[in-house]
Structures are given as structure tokens and as C-alpha cells.
Amino acid sequence: MVEPADRPSAAGQRLGAPESFGVSTLEPGLRPPTQAPGRQVSIRVQMLDDTQEVFQISQRSPGKVLFDLVCVHLNLTEGDYFGLEYQDHRKMAVWLDLLKPTLKQIRRPKNTILRFVVKFFPPDHTLLSEELTRYLFALQVKRDLACGRLICNDTSAALMVSHIIQSEIGDFDETQSWQHLLHNKYLPDQDAIRDKITDCHRQHVGQTPAVSDYHLLEIARRLEMYGMRLHPAKDREGTKLNLSVAHTGVLVFQGYTKINAFNWSKVRKLSFKRKRFLIKLRADPTQNAHHDTLEFAMASRDCCKIFWKICVEYHAFFRLFEEPKPKPKPILFTRGSSFRFSGRTQKQIIDYVKDSELKKIPFERFPGSEDSPGGSPQVVVNGSGSVNGQGLGQGQSPEGRLLSPLTSPLLTDAGCVRIEDEEEARRKKFPTDKAYFIAKELLTTERTYLKDLQVITESFHGVAEKDEAFPESVKNLISTSYDPLYKFHQGFLKEVEQRLAQWEGRSNAHIKGDYQRIGDILLKNIQGLRQQTVHLQKHSECLVELERACRSIRKVETVCRDFEQQRVCYLPFNIFLLRPLHRLLHYKLILERLCKHYPPTHDDFRDCRGTALVGLQISSHFEFIRLGCLSKLSGKGLQQRMFFLFSDSLVYTSRGMTPSNQFKVHGQLPLYGMTIRESEEEWGVPHSFTLFGQRQSVVVAASCASEMERWVEDIRMAIDLAEQSSSPNADLLSTSLSDNSKSDGGAELESEEELCGSRSSLERQGHRGNTTVHVCWHRNTSVSMVDFSVAVENQLSGNLLRKFKNSNGWQKLWVVFTNFSLFFYKSHQDDYPLASLPLLGYSVTVPSESENIHKDYVFKLHFKSHVYYFRSESEYTFERWMEVIRSATCSASRPLPSTRKDLY
């Protein structure tokens, strides 16, 4: 199973990249496992990028110590998918047993090279949480293609190689790409499909290495030979076959064609007796008894045992919930093998990554060792020993520079990447046209929008599919309404990415044509978006039907609540369902800025203007859903309460939140027939007013005069709308709450019994404490209908540099502004944010001279003792970030407009 040592590859290489010596460096604070005392022995391990590492282990150390040293060196969280493979004294490829002493397995450590390779191939690469893990899997696929193990047709092979080349050298350049294929062999018969590879490579302009890895694994996992390690055997008739094992069970191949499969659920027992490998199946009433046991002959007992061991491990890894416990040793004698699987199962890995909130560790894709003498792999001793005989300090290159320091992506100052020079150099290469930055805003926000659609089409769909109680009608409604939209925007995003890459000059295409525009792409795709109108019209129906299902089926409500607690669902799920309607507003604003920037004679002006007109026609079909204001309003002498203004009622919560972070609904006032009267003089409470309903009245007080004005205006508008029309979905918001009467002093009285009313959507929220509702509660502020309308329009994404008040360096983060909060990611490819910063109550300003921030395009966020500095890449992006953040930070003090802004 171990391939001969070919010439080292250039995994992840970028042209002009510095020479380096491994996949990653040791994260500060991470320590190797404790070893038993005794003489140290050097063990050489070859990594998937063909670099070699020498590890020092004790003579008595079990295999797990060596394996853990490798994983720690790589900063590999999901290391259990991998293993150490070597050739034993019989020249057979075997896996290092983690429970047995290493030196009892490797008899000649000085002459043995262990290979760190993928051992367990999961059915779906999206189960891999870390980008580093997917990168290593991509290297394994590359290795399997090169040695002829991953058999596939020419089309699949060419497409996979094109993604590998895109990851290694970047965008297509005819001369460069052709030379690269001449000097690097990715397939045994590569020359025959070289033209097909270059044609595929042309299509990947703007694609990052991480995206290339993703597409490579997406293609590979669908191939029949993906992850297959064939073990020669014969059936009872002497027919030559190959046996293999996968996550589903034991497979039988004739040549490279799968002819049979025995699922784990059907297998009762696996065993071997001398050269015979036996599969005992569970009894099937439709079959004769002699079919219950299948027998295959292999070359030797050792071959049988090796295959039996990997079958045992595959079954345990993919089928068990936790690592099997060791069996007690018999007192007198043993029978059979004592071998067992050692390590975490796949479920344990997924649960560990999910529950531990691990930070994503960044890493550098290092070039291979093409320039090393004789093509021999380069060697690092535990990341800090000697390289080709020359001593190095830990994490240093031969020139003394630090090798890709691993930094914490969390919002702490420790380990910030000092990237001022790199960013300044990159900024100087940007086009200076304002239209470019407007187009780039379209690109960055489209990336976030597609990720939000993915939450519905993949994450939520996967959860709903696993639950039998979830109504098929609701699942089908959501799927048919959002899946076509997701596919459309995938193609749209790819076109925008390619155009921006051409505009920036990251390919030679800009020399051959006029690509410094975006209107032609918008005009082309707005016609495709018009065809999605039938799906967009169903999104309000999806909201209603999902709410009905939650109210009528407790299990569905639990599924939705649990999903909203997942990190990928960083906003209330209803907001994701409304994203396509909100996105129409974003397109409108971007087109307005482009049309305002271009002179009427500009070619792009005509395209942008035409796109805007079609967009108006599309948006005219929709009534944008507006949420009401929410805040804490106080009754005299009592604690504050949370108020929610809906289309038909004003709902107020009890005195606080439950331990599960939920608000308990205390009562509601129907808006139909409600009147308002100012009550400051009557009750002697500043900024108070009385709400008179048909059966009850409530006296409330705002925190300031402007907040009171906003509440009164929004409530009066809602009253007018409630009297004009009655919503057909009003039953979804109503609850059978007890009738609360007005008591002395104008304040509400309540008992513990009254707090245990019926359930409503508010009680089911259960969100993390950074949502708008909770921020309003804790920061004592209100969000009005105008604020919500502005927030729908003011959403932004992009890279920012962030610095704390007393830190020296800047850290690059992908930042998403939505729902009155900043969400921080390491890159736009991350599935969930590392941290969030709710902005209600913050102030945004420009740093003063005394703060010694001598950089351009810097703004400052300040709330009490919390101070953050952010740098943008241009004057345009600086102004946009200031604009959208002010829409959230200044909401409490923003003057009321004379007329409300019309949304489309």
C-alpha cells in the first residue's frame, strides 16, 4: 500500500513563495505528549507534502505517542482520520498499532520511514471541520491520482488535476500552466489529456486554494475508487477478486469494478482462519443457510490478518459512538487476537469539534522541495532541530525568519498577525476607480449571502431530513423555494469573482479585453433572477408554514430551537428565510451607487441602468416584511420589561429571561382600537404614556424623550395599519395569556402563576445572548421600525484589520455586518463566526491625534471601556463601513425623519 518515494510534490506552492519546511508550525502553548523515561530513539516520518520530520521518542513509548507528536506538530485537531503506515520486515504495508510499543513493531527504526497518510475516508468531506484537514485530504487525493490508485475517467481526472494546479500556481496563464504540466506529473498518462486539463484550469479564475481543495474532494468522493485500498483475494471458485473496506462495509471488486458490497448492518462477524477471510452475515429468511457465511482466500495468513484489522478499525470508527473498552485479560490462556480499535470514533471527533468551540488554526500552504539536492525530501527535527544538517531555532527558516506563526483567530491580542507591510503593498496594486470598489462590495456581500442560503439549503435541510416528525410538506416547500435560488447565485458569484480577478489584473485576461466593468454581468444575471420570482414569492409562505409546524408539533419546535443553537445558525433562522427579499434591496442600492458614479455616456451606465429597471419590476411583486420596535419600557416602581411591536399586537415579557436565555411572554395588547395618551403630568414619571386597549390599559415610560417619540410614532402607525387590514396569519402571534388589569400607580402587577402562560414564538427563541433582543435588554435601548428598515439595507461584508487599544499589531479578519452586529471570521470560507460584537450603544468615530494611530482609513468603536480600531482598504470602503455602522450605533439618538424611507 505504500507507494515508492517519488519526486516530492509542490503542494500548495505559489510562485515566488519562500522556501519552507513543513505543513505548519507548532501553535504557542500546545505541548507534545508526555513520554516514558529512557533512551530516546529517532523516528523518521514522511508527511503528505513529502517533507520529512524526525521525532524523538522513548524506547518504551507506544505508537500513540509518536502519532500524537505528529498531530501536535501539524496542529491537527482532526488527526484521528489519519494513520502512520510503514513496510514491515515482510515488505507488507501495515498500520502502526497505537497501543503497542513502537519499537516492537519497527525493528529497524534507522532504516524505516513511516508515512503519515489518510486512514479513514468519510463519505462527505464537509464533515471535516478544519481547512487544514481538507488540505491534507486533498494531498492524499493528489498522491492517489499520481500513483494510479484513484481510477476514473479522463474528464474527472482532468478536472481534479486542474483544481490541484489552481491551488498550487493560481490563475491560468497559458505559458506558465503549460510549463508547470511539463515539469510535474499528476497522472500516470497525463500527456494524453493535457489539453483537457488546461481547458478546465481556464475556468477557475479567482478560485482560492481552499476552494480548490473543496472542489477536488467533492469530485473525488463521488468516484467508486475513492479511498479504496485493494487487497487481492479469490472466491471459492478461484476467481481473482479484490477486497476493500469503506465506511459502509466490506466491498468486493473484480479488477476496478465493484461487484458486491456487504453493509455493516448485514455483517454479523468478521474473522480469519489461516489464509481464509470469513464474512458471517445475519440470517436472511429468503436465503439458504449456506449463504450466511462467505469465504475468500488470500495470499497468506498475514494478509488476512492485516485486512481483518483494518476492517475492525473501519467498523469501530464509523459505526460506534465511542472508543471500545479493552477486554479483561484471561487468567489461564488466550484465544484469538486481542487487537482492538484505539482512538476517537468519527462521532466523537464531530462532537468534540462542535462542543469545544475550537478556534480555527490558520496555516500556510508550503511549497514542496523541487529545489532540494537530488530531489530528496527536506527533513525537520520536531520542527526545531536540524534541516539538512544545519541547526535552526524553533519555527525559523534558514534566513532566520519565523515560519508562518499560528495565531489565535479569536478577538484577543495574543498572536496577532503583523501584516502592515503586506497589506500596504497589496493596497497599492488595487485599481483606483470607485466603480471597482462598488463591484467589490457586490462580491463580498454576495459571498455572505450565498453562505446564508447554504444555512437553509444544506445545514437546516440536513437536520430536517434526519427527523421523521418534520412534515414532508414543509421540507419540500423550503427545499423547492430555496434550492434553485442557491444554485443560481452559485453561478452568479463565480462570474463576479472571475470578473474582479480580471479587473484586478490577477490574470492576463485584462490585457485582451475591457473587463473593468460589472454592469454587463449584472444585466445578464438579472434576467436569471427574474426567473426565480416564482420561488421568491413562496418565502413568506415558508415562514408561515414553519411557524405553524412548530406550534402544532413539539418535536419540530425542538428541532428548530436546537438548530438555532448551532454555530452555523448565527442569526435567528427566520432572518435567513427572509434573506433573498433583503438581498433585492442590496442590489438596488449597489446599482444606485454605480449609476450615480458613471456618466450617462459610459457603457457600464447603460447596463447598470437597465439592470436597475428590471430589478424594480422584480421587487414590485413583494411586500417587504417590517418588524416593529423592541425595547425595555418601564412601569412606575417596577423592573423593566421587554416590549415587541408586531403587526397586530404589542407583546410584553415578564421580568427577565429564563435560565435557557428565553423571554417569558407576560401579556399582549391588541392594536385594533388602541389609543395613546401622554401621562407625564398624570403619574409624575418622565417620558411616560398610557396605552388604552379595548379591555385593559398599561402605563409605560421610555428612557428618554427621543425614544418615547419613536415608540409613539411606531405604535400609532401600527394602529393605523391594524385598523386598515387584518392579517390572515394573526393566529400565529396570538396566545391565550391571562388578562392583566391596571392597578394603582399605573404599573402592572404580576404573580408567579401568571408568568406561566401559554407558549409563543418569543418563548421559543432561546438564542445566544448577542441577538438584538438580548442586547436591547442588557443595554437598555430601543430599535424602531425605521432602524429595522435601515438595517435591512445596510449590510456589508469584507476584510478589515483590527487592533485593540493597547496592542501593537493588526489582525486581518473577515467581517460581516448584519442585524446590528459585527461577526468576525478568519476568512469568508468559514462556516460560522469566531466571535460577534453587537453595536447597539456603541459610538463610531475617527481616532484622534493623541491615540497615535498613524494609518489611513481607520475608524474607532467605543463602548464604556471597550475600544476597537478597524482599518479598511480604501476611502470608499472606509466610508461604507462608517455609514453602515452608524446606522446601528446611532439608532438611539438618530432624529426621526419627516417621511419614512420607501423600501423599493
Listed in sequence order, the residues at least 6 apart from 831 whose beta carbon sits closer than 8 Å to its beta carbon are 451, 567, 568
pLDDT of residue 429: 61
Bridge-partner residues for 85, per DSSP? 95, 115
CA atoms within 13 A on the CB side of 600: 0
Tally the C-alpha atoms within 13 A of residue 525's C-alpha that lie toward its C-beta.
19
Half-sphere exposure of 732 (CA within 13 A, CB side): 16
For residues 139 and 144, give the distance between their C-alpha atoms in angstroms, rounded to a whole number: 9
State pLDDT tens for residues 545-567: 898 898 888 899 888 888 988 88
What is the per-residue DSSP string for 344-378? Answer: --HHHHHHHHHHTTPPPPP-------TTSGGGPPP
Give the integer Cα–Cα distance in Å for 70 and 76: 8
- Beta-strand ranges (E) seen in 646-687 are 649-657, 663-670, 675-678
Taking Cα atoms as reference points, which of 50, 247, 230, 84 lies closest to residue 150? 230
Taking a C-beta distance cutoff of 8 angstroms, is the pair 836, 770 a contact? Answer: yes
pLDDT at residue 740, as a whole number = 31
Strand pairing report for 113-118 and 231-234: unpaired
How many CB atoms sit inside 10 A of residue 413's CB?
15
How many Cβ atoms are within 10 Å of 392's Cβ, its own excluded?
Answer: 18
Phi, psi of 675 (to 5 degrees): -130, 160
The pTM (predicted TM-score) of the whole model is 0.52
pLDDT at 739: 32
Segment holding 611, helix H or strand E: helix 603-619
Q: Which residue, among 520, 536, 444, has the nearest Cα to 488 in the 3D structure?
A: 536
463 with 563: CB under 8 angstroms?
A: yes
What is the model's pLDDT at position 834? 85
d(CA 173, CA 159): 17
> CA 779, CA 510: separation in Å to the nearest integer?
50
pLDDT of residue 743: 28
Q: Are 77 and 358 in contact (CB under 8 A)?
A: yes
Q: Is 154 helix (H, G, I), strand (E, B) or coil?
A: helix
How far is it, in rounded angstroms, from Cα 633 to Cα 689? 10
CB-based contacts of 316, cutoff 8 Å, min separation 6? 323, 324, 340, 341, 345
Distances (CA, A) of 431 to 514, 873, 878: 14, 12, 16
The CA distance from 476 to 696, in Å, is 43
Interval 239-268: pLDDT, tens: 999 999 999 999 999 988 899 999 998 898
Which phi and psi (to 5°) does residue 349 adopt?
A: -65, -50
Reading the block at residue 685, the C-alpha cell is 414619571
**Separation CA 69–CA 649 (nearest Å):** 62
Give the strand pairing for 379-381 and 52-58: parallel
Q: What is the pLDDT of residue 323?
A: 72
CA distance 903 to 154: 51
Tell me if 9 sits within 8 A of 183, measured CB to CB.
Answer: no
Please give the Cα distance from 35 to 589 (Å, whole number): 62
- The residues facing 814 across adjacent strands are 799, 825
Regions of the chain with pLDDT less than 50: 1-30, 331-333, 367-422, 509-512, 624-638, 655-660, 727-767, 891-904
Largest pairwise CA distance in the chain: 102
User: Dihedral angle at the C-alpha atoms of 112, 113, 119, 124, nearest 10 degrees?
Assistant: -170
Residue 745 CB burial class (10 angstroms; 0-12, 13-18, ≥19): middle
Spell out where 206-247 has E strands: 231-234, 240-245
What whole-number distance in Å separates Cα of residue 665 and Cα of residue 646?
Answer: 14
How far, in Å, CA of 805 to CA of 867, rounded?
A: 6
Place of cell 387584518: 726
Q: Which of 656, 650, 634, 632 is nearest to 642 (CA)?
A: 632
Q: To which residue does cell 438584538 refer?
A: 772
**DSSP string spanning 488-503?**
HHHHHHHHHHHHHHHH
Closest Cα partner for 820 from 630, 538, 594? 630
Domains of the chain and CATH, by start = 40-221 (3.10.20.90), 231-324+340-344 (2.30.29.30), 434-613 (1.20.900.10), 624-724 (2.30.29.30), 795-889 (2.30.29.30)
Q: What are the backbone angles phi and psi of residue 832, rounded to the nearest 5°?
A: -150, 155
Strand partners, 816: 797, 823
Q: Which residues of 34-46 are buried (b: 16+ CB within 10 A; e: fewer)?
A: ebeeeeebebbbb
Q: Which residues lie closer than 8 Å to 670 by C-beta, 6 or more apart? A: 648, 649, 693, 694, 722
